[in-house]
Amino acid sequence: MARISVFFGALLFILGIVAYVGTGSVHPTALIPIYFGLPLVVFGYLAKSPIESRRKLFMHINVTIGLLGFLGAVGSAIHAYGHARSLGIDPDMKAIGAQLIMAALLFIYVMMCVRSFIDARQKMAE
């Protein structure tokens, strides 16, 4: 799972750069995926430890970051859409699209982590 963490962190980093450039490089909030991707990469590398307890700790930190990022991205997309509609203007679909892509990536990542945790627990019980 450590390699998968690094992979998803890199995807979020790329998403942040693309979103920033795609919005005309004037909205620094488009870089938010980078702020979630960077810790996934760092803790993913730290999770490559041969020490099991250290590996568990960093993967649990990563899944927590992933879950918080997912919830934040979904909440932000819903809020942005609702706020724009309440003002009677068209929502910024580039920004909402980037938020939904971030949410989708993190949802997949969290589900993969949960599946891995369940599998590890079942192997310990055997």
Phi-psi region of 89 (alpha: psi -120 to 50; beta: other; left: phi over 0): beta
Q: Which pLDDT tens digits describe the chain residue by residue (126 residues)?
A: 889 999 999 999 999 999 898 877 777 888 999 999 999 999 999 999 899 899 999 999 999 999 999 999 999 999 999 999 899 998 888 889 999 999 999 999 999 999 999 998 888 887
Which tokens go with 77? 């997309």
Q: Which of 19, 57, 56 is nearest to 37 (CA)?
A: 19
Instruction: Give the 3-state secondary structure of residue 16.
Output: helix
- Spans of all domains in the chain: 2-125
Rounded CA separation 41/111 (Å): 18
Q: Which of 23, 54, 21, 16 is nearest to 37 (CA)?
A: 16
- pTM of the full structure: 0.90
Q: Which of 121, 105, 111 is nearest to 36 (CA)?
A: 105
